[in-house]
Every structure is written in C-alpha cells, then in structure tokens.
Amino acid sequence: MTVQETSIDQEITRELLVKRARDMVPFLAEQAANAEAARKIPEQTIAKMHEAGFFRVLQPKRWGGFEMDPQVFFDVQMTLAEGCMSTAWIYGVIAVHNWQIALFDLQAQEDVWKDDSSILIASSYMPVGKVTPVEGGFKFSGRWAFSSGCDHCEWVFLGGVVPPTADNPAPDFRTFLVPKADFEIKDTWHTFGLKGTGSNDIVVEDAFVPEYRTHSSMDGFRGTNPGIDSKTVPLYKIPFGQLFPRAVSGSTIGATQGAINAYLQVASKRVGTNDGSKTAEDSNAQMAVARAQVLVDQLKMKLYSNFDQLMTDARNGQSTDMSQRIQYRYESAAVPESCLAEVLELQKMCGGRAIFTNSPLQRFVLDILAGRAHVANNPFKFGQNFGGVQLGLESNDIFL
C-alpha cells in the first residue's frame, strides 16, 4: 500500500498518524539492536515510515504532503521514540526538511520533487562550507559532520557563510541545497548513543550551487522567505529557529516515556537478591517514576502550548513576540537535560542488573545523553540569552 493510496482511501488525521506510530513501536523496539549494529536505520523501517505517511506531515500539499500543524509532527516523533530514539531522531531531522524546503524558491523544490515527491533531504547546518560567489550562484566545498540519516537521502542541506559585499556588509549564513551527485558520505559514526542514526560526515568538493538553491537564515528570522507557500500558508510562516530545534529535542521526550515503560516492566516485578525487598515498594523508586512521568506530561503540554501560539500568530498574519521566541528557544534546549536527569534516576533504581548491556533501560539513557550533546540542546547558551534579555540586555541570538 503506497502513501498515495493511503491518502485517497483513508482520511489522514492526527489520530490516524499517531495510531500508526503507536502500532510501529514494538517493531522499532525489536529492530533497535539491528539499527545499532548497522549504525543506521534499516531500509525496512524507512519504507514503513514512508508507507505510513510520516514524512509528509509537514510537506506542502502541492507536493502530495499533508501540510499539518507541527503538533502532529511532534506527536509522531515522540511516539516513535518510545520504541527507538535513533529512528525518532532521524525522523525529526529529515521530516522537518520537507517543511524547510517550502521556504526555498519554487525552482529548488522542483529540483528535488518534480519526479518523485517522496525524496528525502539530510542536513548538517554547521557553517563550515567554503563559499565563493560566481555568476548565477556559488562554488561550494567543505566537510560537515553529524548528517543524521544521510544514507537514506538524495539531497542534503549544508551550512555556509556568504562573504560580505558592499551591498550586504554582514556575513550571510545560508543553507545550501546539494544533490547526491555532488556529495560523498564518509563513514565516521562510531558513538555510545544514537548509534542507529548513521550521522556520518558529508564531503563536497567544488560543487556549483545556484543562487535559488540557497536559503538565508535572515529570511528565516524575518519571515521574508522566497518560497511561494511561505507567503500564504500559515504553517510555513513559523520562524525556522522555532521549529528545527524542537526536531532535535522532541525525541528525548518520547524516549523518556520509553524509559519509563521499560522501567515499569522491570521494577514492578523486581525483588532484591540480597534482602528480598520489592522495588515496587521502595519509596525512592516510586518517586523516580512519579517525577519522570510528570516531567514527560509537562514537557508535552509546553511543546503543544508553544506551537499553539506560533500557529495562532501565523494564521493571524502576526509575528510572534520576540521575547516569547527567546523563551521558547531556551525551553526547547532545556528538554534533553531535564529528561536525562529523570532517566538517570530510573537507572539508579534498577539495581546492579541495570549495568549489563542487555538492560532494557540502558539504550534510552545513552541515546538521551547523546541527544543532549547536540549544539541546539545546550541549555546554558540559550538560557543565558533568555536571562540576559530578562535583565535588560540585548538578545545575542538570531536563530529564533
């Protein structure tokens, strides 16, 4: 059954997509070890996600997408993470690109999807590309790390800075859209967590990138994107700096729920080998579960609330207040740190058996810890900016 057939035969709703994600959780849990061993998500899993329509949630309708609110996207991501955070991580990173490309010139969208609207795009936004302006565009070279799920993608978004000119005296950070023919994947992904994401390096040597296949971060910040749908469809009026960071923190919320589920399976039946005590009767274990579950529910409510406001503003043709955007940015970055703290408490309450590699909780702990390492998930940088603005200083962040 293809995605196209599914969309015709059955109305695509938030409830249906979440049910499909929920139904996939046991399969993902079974496949997690295989994904880790292969250091990438199995093709079978990617095929199932295509079939379920997950990659089309944020995709423009003109390209067969569902053009749904971000809350649906995050519901799917967090549910998938209960089975395998690596799968949810690459879903978040890759599927959000089907939203970002709507900000590009229509010609760039046609380059990617004119023959096959299921084509996927990877990314690495580090601004390390060597950019040389030439007629009609740029010569582009460099090496980028952490391109999650790149083995499954035919195009890639890469970061680079266009040098200042007399007309534009400030450096211009841009995303460059590059086809597979112009990049090489270097197998470098050997990590303690998120092993299945296949976040390998990308190498580009002296490729030509047309001007229309670039997107300026300032356009994303100001809402002046060249994409035709970004001018009329509320979904594509949301600031890029609000949506993408949540795509790399949202999976930790779902993984925390997965950790709770795994902990309950073990701890509800565990009896201490030394004294015969039952973990279920341990007040510390009880509190660890309570705190973790409340945290998950609170983080979900805050995520939904933020995007309710962002979508309301977009539908009303308003720009979300900058002070709110600064706070939202910090709240996103703070998610993995909060999740890690509570999951570690669950790990401690599992006793000595929890240190073995077959512990069902261990993968969640290591994956959340690895997710915390992403630059967008550093709460101190964005928290200091938020606190400084509260104290009367100017914001030092434009990725909002």
pLDDT of residue 273: 52
Q: What is the CATH number of domain 120-229?
A: 2.40.110.10
pLDDT of residue 400: 80
pLDDT tens, residue by residue, 80-115: 999 999 999 999 999 999 999 999 999 999 999 999
Confidence band of 276 (pLDDT split at 50, 70, 90): low
Res 302 pLDDT > 50? yes
- What's the chain look like in SS3? CCHHHHHHHCCCCHHHHHHHHHHHHHHHHHHHHHHHHHCCCCHHHHHHHHHHCHHHCCCCHHHCCCCCCHHHHHHHHHHHHCCCHHHHHHHHHHHHHHHHHHHCCHHHHHHHHCCCCCCCEEEEEEEEEEEEEECCEEEEEEEEEEECCHHHCCEEEEEEEECCCCCCCCCEEEEEEEEHHHCEEECCCCCCCCHHHCCEEEEEEEEEEEHHHEEEHHHHHHCCCCCCHHHCCHHHHCCHHHHHHHHCCHHHHHHHHHHHHHHHHHHCCCECCCCCCEHHHCHHHHHHHHHHHHHHHHHHHHHHHHHHHHHHHHHCCCCCCHHHHHHHHHHHHHHHHHHHHHHHHHHHCCCHHHHCCCCCCHHHHHHHHHHHCCHHHCHHHHHHHHHHHHCCCCCCCCCC
Res 275 pLDDT > 80? no
pLDDT of residue 272: 61
pLDDT tens, residue by residue, 215-235: 998 888 888 899 999 999 999
pLDDT of residue 285: 86
pLDDT of residue 358: 81
Greatest alpha-carbon pair distance for the chain in Å reads 77
Architecture of domain 240-390: Up-down Bundle (1.20)
pLDDT of residue 25: 98
Res 309 pLDDT > 90? yes
pLDDT of residue 7: 44
Res 351 pLDDT > 90? no
pLDDT tens, residue by residue, 34-93: 999 999 999 999 999 999 999 999 999 999 999 999 999 999 999 999 999 999 999 999
Q: Is 3-103 a CATH 2.60.40.420 domain?
A: no
pLDDT of residue 75: 98
The pTM for the full model equals 0.93
Please state, in angstroms and rounded to a whole number, the distance separating the CA atoms of residues 97 and 68: 14
pLDDT of residue 248: 96
Confidence band of 126 (pLDDT split at 50, 70, 90): very high
Q: What is the mean pLDDT of residues 274-297?
A: 85
Write down the residue that tokens 């599914």 correspond to. 6
pLDDT of residue 8: 41
pLDDT of residue 171: 82
Q: What is the mean pLDDT of residues 166-186?
A: 90
Say which residues have a Cβ less than 8 Å from residue 315's Cβ, sequence separation at least 6: 234
The domain spans of the chain are 3-103, 120-229, 240-390
pLDDT of residue 270: 65
pLDDT of residue 218: 87
pLDDT of residue 9: 52
Fold match between domain 120-229 and domain 240-390: no
Task: Identify the residue with better confidence: 100 or 166.
Answer: 100
Res 1 pLDDT > 50? no
Res 246 pLDDT > 90? yes
Please state, in angstroms and rounded to a whole number, the distance separating the CA atoms of residues 160 and 127: 4
